[in-house]
Amino acid sequence: MLEAERRPGGKIEQALTVFLTGAECPFTCSFCDLWQWTIDGPTPPGSLTNQLETVLQALDGPVPDRLKIYNASNFFDQRAVPSEDLAGIARLANSFEAVTVESHANTIGASTLAFARQISGRLEVAVGLETIHPVAAAHLNKRLDLARFDSAARFLSENGVDIRVFVLLGAPYVPAEESVAWTVRTVEHAVERGASVVSIIPVRGGNGEMERLQGLGHFTPPTLSQLEESLDLSLQFTNTVVTADLWDIERLPACEHCRAERVERLRRTNVSGRAEPRISCGVCGAA
């Protein structure tokens, strides 16, 4: 996936996101559906390097500024990314100015710095904070507390590694009427810990667990209006790029008459960082 992406300071990068297939994440967070795109057992050595090389060989045109490597697991877990593959991945990434990988805060450490030294560009690690709502955070099965997240963020910052943070909209156990407020508070927490980029991700159903929690009254699917409000309120944090994740955006409940215009507004805001008036709709009364 090739897309324009805003960075702190206003630079617009061309970012190539490559989705690699390997071992499943061991943390089994309740909201996650990424296990559907993983394999049983450890990632075979050489597999990720081969996958990445195949994608890069197919590139046509100038080399993008940033390479984002997402493996639906943790880049610094040797079961997911064999240590013998790191040199090959680094070699393939050396034509990019910056590289982003994803990993749970608990996996960040010496291996992170070792990989940062292997690549010629600047490293960024994407980390899920999800929510700082105390009840919800305790029920996510993420095995992450705020102190550990803060420690990982501080470690990355002190060692010249950027941090991208994932924040949930509609986290289970957060009351629907408080969802936007807790999302913005979580964004603020990430900003205060030095995040370069924060992505607001609406929680999706479809993994079975969300449906179970919804049946128990512990989960209410977020709406497009809530995503709009969360992003609009988060634009106040001017030192950090805050964006709305538009993956599967068509699944969010919304008025079909104005949905396309509203999604396009979000897309523009992601790139520009500038607030725009909300879309008015004579059918649903939006805005």
Give the separation between CA 66 and CA 95, rounded to whole angstroms: 9
**Using only C-alpha atoms, what is the Rg of the chain?**
19
> Rounded to the nearest 5 degrees, what angle is found at the Cα of 241, between the Cα atoms of 240 and 242?
110
Confidence at residue 28, expressed as pLDDT on a 0 to 100 scale: 80
Range of the domain at 133: 2-250
Whether the predicted pLDDT of 222 surpasses 90: yes
Residue 269 maps to a domain: no
Confidence at residue 32, expressed as pLDDT on a 0 to 100 scale: 81
Give the separation between CA 182 and CA 112, rounded to whole angstroms: 30
Confidence band of 34 (pLDDT split at 50, 70, 90): confident
Question: Taking a C-beta distance cutoff of 8 angstroms, is the pair 121, 8 a contact?
Answer: no
| Mean pLDDT of all residues in 228-242 | 97
pLDDT digits (tens, 9 = 90+) for 63-99: 999 999 999 999 999 999 999 999 999 999 999 999 9
The CATH number of residue 115's host domain is 3.20.20.70
| Mean pLDDT of all residues in 226-251 | 96
Give the separation between CA 119 and CA 147, rounded to whole angstroms: 29
Question: Taking a C-beta distance cutoff of 8 angstroms, is the pair 187, 167 a contact?
Answer: yes
Q: What tokens does 172 get? A: 């289970």
pLDDT digits (tens, 9 = 90+) for 266-276: 999 999 999 99
Please list, residue by residue across 191-207, b when 16 or more beta carbons sit within 10 angstroms of its beta carbon and e when fewer do.
bebbbbbbbbbbbbbeb
Confidence at residue 177, expressed as pLDDT on a 0 to 100 scale: 97
Question: Taking a C-beta distance cutoff of 8 angstroms, is the pair 89, 65 a contact?
Answer: no
Largest pairwise CA distance in the chain: 58
Dihedral over alpha carbons 140, 146, 150, 151 (to 10 degrees): -90
Residue 211 maps to a domain: yes
Whether the predicted pLDDT of 160 surpasses 90: yes
**Site of tokens 């608990």:** 106
pLDDT digits (tens, 9 = 90+) for 179-201: 999 999 999 999 999 999 999 99
User: How many independent structural domains does the chain possess?
Assistant: 1
Residue 264 maps to a domain: no
Whether the predicted pLDDT of 239 surpasses 80: yes
Where are the extended beta strands (E) located within the chain? 2-6, 12-19, 66-70, 98-102, 122-130, 162-169, 197-202, 241-244
Confidence band of 49 (pLDDT split at 50, 70, 90): very high
Residue 258 maps to a domain: no
Residue 240 maps to a domain: yes
Residue 267 maps to a domain: no
Confidence at residue 287, expressed as pLDDT on a 0 to 100 scale: 60
Residue 230 maps to a domain: yes
Q: Which residues pair with 42 in a beta bridge?
A: none
Q: What tokens does 200 get? A: 């607001």
Residue 173 maps to a domain: yes
Bridging pattern class, strands 197-202 and 162-169: parallel
